[in-house]
Amino acid sequence: MEIRPVVETDRSEWCRMRCALYSNPDPKEVDDWFEAAERGGTTCVGVAVLVVDRGDGQLAGFAEIGSRDYAEGCETTPVAYLEGWYVDSDLRRSGLGARLLQAVEQWAKAAGFKELASDTEIDNDVSLRAHVALGFEEVERLICFRKPLRQP
């Protein structure tokens, strides 16, 4: 299986996997990623999507990489940020997630980043274990709040 940058013909497969990863994915985000990539070619500094091509027109996984000015625990700026990381259930625990993360790291180094950050939901033990197993170190636990302000 080949790991490569996403292309337009991957749109429906990428959307399928995003629906499996995120509880309420916004289809507009896929458009936003393609628009950002178009501004800089297949990938541009700060934005990349890598996919795992099964070779039969289907995909098996993806990684969405962003750039943030700040990430908890990081010492440099900007920071490459693993915004999304997914492997289809039939290929989990096969090393494919590790290969995908290696490709992310290579992309980030080539783009000049010195650190890679990521996050997960506080109760997502599977993701936490995967991150730690592949060399990430936990730097902080955070629960965020919001309160809408009612207008008089």
Read off the pLDDT of residues 18-45 as tens digits, 9 standing for 90 and up. Answer: 999 988 878 778 777 777 766 654 444 5
pLDDT at 142: 84
pLDDT at 87: 96
Average pLDDT along the chain: 88
Distance CA 26, CA 126 (A): 23
pLDDT at 37: 65
Q: Residue 13's closest CA among 48, 42, 53?
A: 53
Burial of 108 (0-12, 13-18, 19+ CB in 10 A): buried
**3-state SS, residue 70:** coil
Top-tier CATH class for 2-133: alpha beta
Token digits of residue 119? 């996050």
What average pLDDT does the segment 57-64 reach? Answer: 94
Who contacts 13 (Cβ-Cβ below 8 Å, separation ≥6)? 51, 58, 59
- No. of helices (H) and no. of strands (E), the chain: 4, 5
Distance CA 37, CA 27 (A): 16
Read off the pLDDT of residues 8-17 as tens digits, 9 standing for 90 and up. Answer: 899 889 989 9
Read off the pLDDT of residues 66-90 as tens digits, 9 standing for 90 and up. Answer: 889 989 999 999 999 999 999 999 9
pLDDT at 46: 54
Q: Residue 101's closest CA among 132, 123, 71?
A: 132
pLDDT at 42: 47
Read off the pLDDT of residues 97-147 as tens digits, 9 standing for 90 and up. Answer: 999 999 999 999 999 999 999 999 899 899 999 999 999 999 998 888 888
pLDDT at 106: 95
Helix 27-39 × helix 11-21 angle, to 10°: 130
Domain ranges for the chain:
2-133
